[in-house]
Chain A
Amino acid sequence: MNTEFLRQMPSSRSFAGSGNGLLWRLHLDSPLLAALLVLCGAGLLVLYSAGDGNPDLVVRQAIRLGGGFMALLILAQVPPRTYRFWAPAVYAGGLFLLVLVLFIGTEAKGAQRWLTVPGVGSFQPAEIMKLAVPAMVAWYFSERSLPARFRDVLLVLLITLVPVLLIARQPDLGTSLLVAAAGLLVLFVAGLSWRLILAALSLLAIAAPLMYFFVLHPYQRRRVDTFFNPEADPLGAGWNIIQSKTAIGSGGISGKGWLNGTQSRLDFLPESSTDFILAVLAEEGGLIGVLMLLGLYLAVIGRGLFISWQAQETFSRLLASSLALTFFIYVFVNIGMVSGLLPVVGVPLPLISYGGTSIVTLLAGFGILMSIHTHRKLMSHH
């Protein structure tokens, strides 16, 4: 403990942010908060266009964002060690709720994902796992020395894959993918040997076709088929991706202008306010708009990685880096799928897409990141 304390002393003051005392006292990180606010504001503008100028959608989204920022503010106050203390319990509770969903979950669109609490409303237990799984894995490593050993790998895989499989069964491919990424990314930054990573990747290459035939639901299989040949079914499953690429491509360098995107305004673009909202932005804002968005995302991710680099103990480091990198996975999978690089999986464009509990979860995650950053200074005064 002493050595750790000494090692962290010198760097602690340089980024303390002495200039913004109020935000710091509220445990908020001003660069990250600024990037998030700009991102969410831009998101509301795009949503207004995607929703065909319907203010209802924007108002409801703004309310949800408000709730998210409240969660961010509250979670930022909680010190990281409290998170570490509660991680196993939250994880276990989350697992219990996932099992409960299988039995008494509410069904919608052929998937059983929601738990309805009388008088409160319905929520997705899977969302909890987006935070609980990386926290649990980080907790696991906080008691052990790095790099991760083979035995650790097996245990971490167990911690991660149990909830992932439960979520995949609902079925919700997008969320299970993100939860798996959250857990496995901790393993990566915890120093999992490159040999094992390469072995896992080759195993995945072999398993993928098997997964395709034995694990995937027919609708998921169709998405994969469509990905490899969208023109085979231009009016059915391929329609989404063809229309989305058409929207993006027709936007050009400078775009058609805000509220002028014909693809979404004339309803050719499906799910234009949710998963495919990027196509609206790309059509109306052009390449310039897309690059600005990518820049904002990069700023958020970069700040997250910086926070984890500055973090002083293993739990905080691992959790912070996992949250930042999972956010990147969101961005990459969504934009990759909308632009036809990846198969269509239900992953929203973070902080821009309409709806879902994912916005609250994402902002809650940034609250934890800010807590990790802002409580560092207090710790250094120990």
Chain B
Amino acid sequence: MTFRDHHNEGRIFSTRLLWSAVIVLALMGVLAGRMFWLQAIQHDRYTTLSDKNRVQTQAIAPPRGLIYDRRGELLADNQPDFSLALIVEQVPNINDTLALVAEKVALEEADIERFWRRVRSPRRPWEPVPLRARLTEEEIARVAVIQHELPGVRIDANPIRHYPYDELFSHVLGYVNRINAEDLERMTPDEQANYSGTHFYGRLGVERHYERLLHGRVGFRKVETNARGRILEVLEQIPPLPGEDVHLHLDIRVQQAAWDALGERRGAVVAMDPRDGGILAFVSRPGFDPNLFVTGISHRNYSEYRDDLDRPLFNRALQGQYPPGSTLKPIAGLAGLDAGVTDWQRTMWDPGYYRLEGQTRVFRDWRRQGHGWVDMHKSIVESCDTYFYDMGFKLGIDRMHDFMVRFGLGDRTGIDLPGESRGIMPSRAWKRAVRGEPWFHGDTINASIGQGYMLTSPLQLAVSTAVFARRGEPVVPRVAQLHPPASPIEPALTPDSRHWDRMTAAMVDVVHGARGTARAMGQGAKYRIAAKTGTAQVFSLGKDEEYNAEEIAERLRDHALIVGFAPADNPAIAVAVLVENGGSGGSSAGPVARQVMDAWLLNRAGELEIPPVAVPGAVPALMADNR
């Protein structure tokens, strides 16, 4: 054994123990200092972080306002819908889970695509990502059975929009579907905040125009959640302000009558009450099922609609552009009378065509053999073209244009629906600007029977008919009973009231007279109807071609038109009907107009009973900037 210096060893050891104690104390001081830094100096910062952790502000979507017709019939309501969603953070393997779910629930490729898009887009963690909506009860049951094998999969019940009448109101109500990034981009920050927590946004129609009103005001609640986002306690709540209900002027009976009367034909019907501008029926056939769009239309359904030759997604009543044809004659006649280029006594010979002096071009009358001696009254009743060629030429395009725009033709009517088309009421300035050509006499002659460049929508025809029924006083059409009485589009016309009486009488003879072009619609009417038929050419005939409906394809046949109002001496309804490729207006469009009028003017016992004018409800503050 070597010699050991125990004293020295003890000293060394003691020194090192002392050092150890010093180091331990110093490091303990570091720990205490660190804790002091975190808990005393940085306390406020971490308290905020801790509260932000546990307290979440959640938006509560307001229930969407309901839409009623004037009789209180529900046209759009909210129904619970069961949808399947994934909390991605809880799902161990998304692909496996999707495969398992697909065994129990029908999943389309589009569902899965949309799901992945949502997973990848910026979102709050632990927020459910929707996979499929509209689960059937059977599917819910099948998923419930294997719920324990599917962590992170949940079935939620959410209210969604429901349209009980499917197609019937599709073009006037529009629909709602999922709100998207572009919608939000167009909004002010305030509006965006108001849409937090909301999934739906109005598209087209009433749903779009009254979106802000129907949507309401978002509510909030502050909740304490755990790290998995589960709500443990509601700390504070501001309830949402439900969307306003909207009552429409539309009458389900009139709408249904118009829909049924059109039958399987393509076309449009607009009926309004000339007394207050309320739209009573607004039909475009074929329609579509708006319910399909609410939770995202499937690719298959959408391409079916898109590729359909009948264009069911096209709103003919609002956006269709058709030459008004002879339906324009009463207004054109008034214009000629007002300007003094003709009067009720003047007669002329109609050989079946009209030729300008010194020109070779011939303007044909629709009746090849002509109408013989004609005056204004007969020209309206039998729809003589030659009389109006002559009168129009004498009137000139400038006076004709200025008169007709006062009936709301060739401009937007200002209806409370989005996407209205303007139509065309041609003038010299218009032709130079659009066509870059000067105006020719032939253009005036075509315009005087509503052909040529002139284009109008069925809605415009209904409005111009209402203005006629109001004896020149302008009116703004309204779908919803919300707006204050509309401001006039043009100052009221003040022609000689005798002209209105006689023109109305001529229009009554169109229906009730022995030679009227719309005799078919007057059979057994309990009231007097004033109307005018029309034909919109789909294509121009060649110089000497014969028109033969049998020989041309059905889709190239003329569109049939009719406008009218009733009762003639106390108008309570104005109607415009378009039947695409319907041929003659009197026989195909006329009966449609008659059924619409009956539905409005007759009670259930079949007796004349003119409904009172709707009293517009109180005007909500929100409306002021929603027009």
- The segment out of B24-32, B164-172, B263-271, B306-314 that lies at the interface is B24-32
Contact present for A249 and B4 (CB under 8 Å):
no
In the complex with contacts A235-B125, A249-B38, A294-B28, A267-B226 CB distance below 8 A? yes
For chain A, residues 175 to 229, give those with C-beta under 8 angstroms from any C-beta of chain B.
188-191
Interface centre among B16, B21, B42, B125 (most CB of A within 10 A): B16
At the interface, yes or no: A351 with Cβ under 8 Å from chain B?
no
In the complex with contacts A305-B17, A321-B20, A339-B38, A7-B10 CB distance below 8 A? yes
Contact present for A145 and B4 (CB under 8 Å):
yes
Contact of B50 among A4, A246, A287, A314 (CB under 8 A): A246
Contact present for A146 and B226 (CB under 8 Å):
no
**Nearest CB in chain B to that of A194: its residue:** B19
At the interface, yes or no: B429 with Cβ under 8 Å from chain A?
no
At the interface, yes or no: A248 with Cβ under 8 Å from chain B?
yes
**Nearest CB in chain A to that of B2: its residue:** A145
CA distance A358 to B125 in the complex (A): 37
CA distance A189 to B12 in the complex (A): 8
Contact present for A309 and B228 (CB under 8 Å):
no
Contact present for B27 and A4 (CB under 8 Å):
no
Contact present for B31 and A146 (CB under 8 Å):
no
CB distance from B519 to the nearest CB of A (A): 78
At the interface, yes or no: A34 with Cβ under 8 Å from chain B?
no
At the interface, yes or no: B146 with Cβ under 8 Å from chain A?
no
CB distance from B35 to the nearest CB of A (A): 5
Contact of A263 among B9, B30, B53 (CB under 8 A): B53
- Report, as a range, how many residues of chain B touch the other chain: 35 or more
For chain B, residues 23 to 69, give those with C-beta under 8 angstroms from any C-beta of chain A.
24-25, 27-28, 30-32, 34-36, 38-40, 42-43, 45-47, 49-50, 53-54
At the interface, yes or no: A341 with Cβ under 8 Å from chain B?
yes
CB distance from B562 to the nearest CB of A (A): 67
In the complex, the number of residue pairs spanning A and B with C-beta atoms less than 8 Å apart equals 140
In the bound complex, residues from chain B placing their C-beta under 8 Å from that of A191 are: 12-13, 16
Interface centre among A3, A7, A282, A335 (most CB of B within 10 A): A335
Contact of A249 among B3, B31, B49 (CB under 8 A): B49
At the interface, yes or no: A55 with Cβ under 8 Å from chain B?
no
At the interface, yes or no: B615 with Cβ under 8 Å from chain A?
no
**Nearest CB in chain B to that of A265: its residue:** B226
Q: Which 9 residue pairs are nearest across A and B when measured between Cβ atoms?
A: A249-B46, A250-B50, A191-B12, A266-B226, A267-B227, A287-B39, A146-B9, A189-B16, A249-B38
CA distance A267 to B228 in the complex (A): 8
Could you name 16 residue pairs across A and B whose Cβ atoms are closer than 8 Å?
A: A145-B4, A146-B8, A146-B12, A189-B17, A235-B125, A247-B50, A249-B50, A251-B39, A252-B39, A253-B40, A262-B50, A262-B224, A268-B227, A282-B35, A290-B35, A332-B28
CA distance A178 to B32 in the complex (A): 22
Contact present for B28 and A287 (CB under 8 Å):
no
Number of A residues near B (Cβ < 8 Å) is 51
At the interface, yes or no: A258 with Cβ under 8 Å from chain B?
no
Interface string of A243-261 (1 = CB under 8 A from B): 1011111111100000000
At the interface, yes or no: B551 with Cβ under 8 Å from chain A?
no
CB distance from A110 to the nearest CB of B (A): 17
In the complex with contacts A7-B6, A248-B46, A294-B28, A266-B39 CB distance below 8 A? no
At the interface, yes or no: A286 with Cβ under 8 Å from chain B?
yes
At the interface, yes or no: A111 with Cβ under 8 Å from chain B?
no
**Nearest CB in chain B to that of A301: its residue:** B24
Contact present for B34 and A246 (CB under 8 Å):
no
At the interface, yes or no: B148 with Cβ under 8 Å from chain A?
no
In the bound complex, residues from chain B placing their C-beta under 8 Å from that of A302 are: 21
Contact of B43 among A7, A235, A249 (CB under 8 A): A249
At the interface, yes or no: B321 with Cβ under 8 Å from chain A?
no
Contact present for A245 and B38 (CB under 8 Å):
yes
At the interface, yes or no: A317 with Cβ under 8 Å from chain B?
yes
CA distance A202 to B484 in the complex (A): 87
At the interface, yes or no: A155 with Cβ under 8 Å from chain B?
no
**7 more A-B contacts (CB under 8 A) besides A146-B8, A298-B25?**
A145-B9, A146-B9, A189-B20, A191-B12, A191-B13, A290-B35, A325-B20
**Nearest CB in chain B to that of A191: its residue:** B12
CA distance A291 to B228 in the complex (A): 32
In the bound complex, residues from chain B placing their C-beta under 8 Å from that of A282 are: 35, 38-39
At the interface, yes or no: B543 with Cβ under 8 Å from chain A?
no
Contact of B13 among A7, A189, A249, A268 (CB under 8 A): A189
At the interface, yes or no: A140 with Cβ under 8 Å from chain B?
no
CA distance A116 to B25 in the complex (A): 41
**Nearest CB in chain A to that of B14: its residue:** A309
